[in-house]
Amino acid sequence: MNRPFVRSTLTVLLALTLSHASAQEGSDPATASAPAPVIVALGDSVTAGFGLGPRDKFSALLQRRLAEEGYPHKIVNAGRNGDSTTGALRRLDRVLVPDTRILLVALGGNDRRLGASADTIYKNLSQIIEQAQARDIKVLLCDMNTGIEGMLIRLAERYHAGLVPSMMEDVRADPGLRLPNNHPNRIGARLIAEMIWTHLQPMLGE
């Protein structure tokens, strides 16, 4: 038999063997990389980033901060223009995607506009928190400065949830932080992202 042919055949067989072993190792569940933990931001038009470009929404700013700080988490923006606690509760099951670890809740403004009672808001937020915690998801409440701060404090204490106090206070007080439609502008969104980050970061390693 031709020796060069034998050597060539052995080389090919060795390469195939190594390739097969490598493929088996890569498919081993023990060595496969774990999916990224998810942070869902549940809110209304402020969370949705009404009037802002995709990179200027506070959720996108938080995503970049996570990457800069070396966290693997992925932010899912579940903000919806005009949403209320009632609407958010209805769609909660859909937005809590697999691997959700933290739920940001930034709601309340539209409830007041639609005439929802304080009892309704409290019950809706309680159910949102309870359903999230039943899935071992941590909750971070965000006070939108809509007159329900006392309620949010009680909820945070009752459910041992996090709380971002007065998140919209500066934006509401300073026209330089708002768009003509009174939603946060790029600078306002950066301020909001920084305020959330202060309370979010300690929850990332828990």
DSSP string for residues in 140-203 = EEE--SSS-HHHHHHHHHHHT-EEETTTTHHHHH-GGGB-TTSSB-HHHHHHHHHHHHHHHHHH
C-beta separation of 38 from 166 below 8 A: no
Handedness of CA 64, 195, 78, 54 (dihedral sign): negative
For every one of its 206 residues, what pLDDT tens digit does the chain have, with 9 covering 90 and above?
555 444 454 444 444 444 444 444 444 444 357 899 999 999 999 999 999 999 999 999 999 999 999 999 999 999 999 999 999 999 999 999 999 999 999 999 999 889 999 999 999 999 999 999 999 999 999 999 999 999 999 999 999 999 999 999 999 999 999 999 999 999 999 999 999 999 999 999 86
pTM of the predicted model, to two decimals?
0.83
Six-digit token pair at 101? 């670890």
Residue 123, class by beta-carbon neighbours within 10 Å (0-12 exposed, 13-18 middle, 19+ buried)?
middle
* Predicted local confidence at residue 34, as pLDDT: 81
| Phi, psi dihedral angles at 79 (to 5 degrees) | -80, 145
* Distance separating alpha carbons of residues 19 and 103, to the nearest angstrom: 42
Q: What angle do CA 97, 99, 103 make, to 5 degrees?
A: 70
Nearest to 103 by CA among 190, 10, 200: 200
Six-digit token pair at 144? 């939108």
184 has which bridge partners?
178
* Predicted local confidence at residue 32, as pLDDT: 56
Kind and range of the H or E element at 105?
A: strand 100-106
The domain defined by 38-204 carries CATH number 3.40.50.1110: yes
* Distance separating alpha carbons of residues 43 and 144, to the nearest angstrom: 10
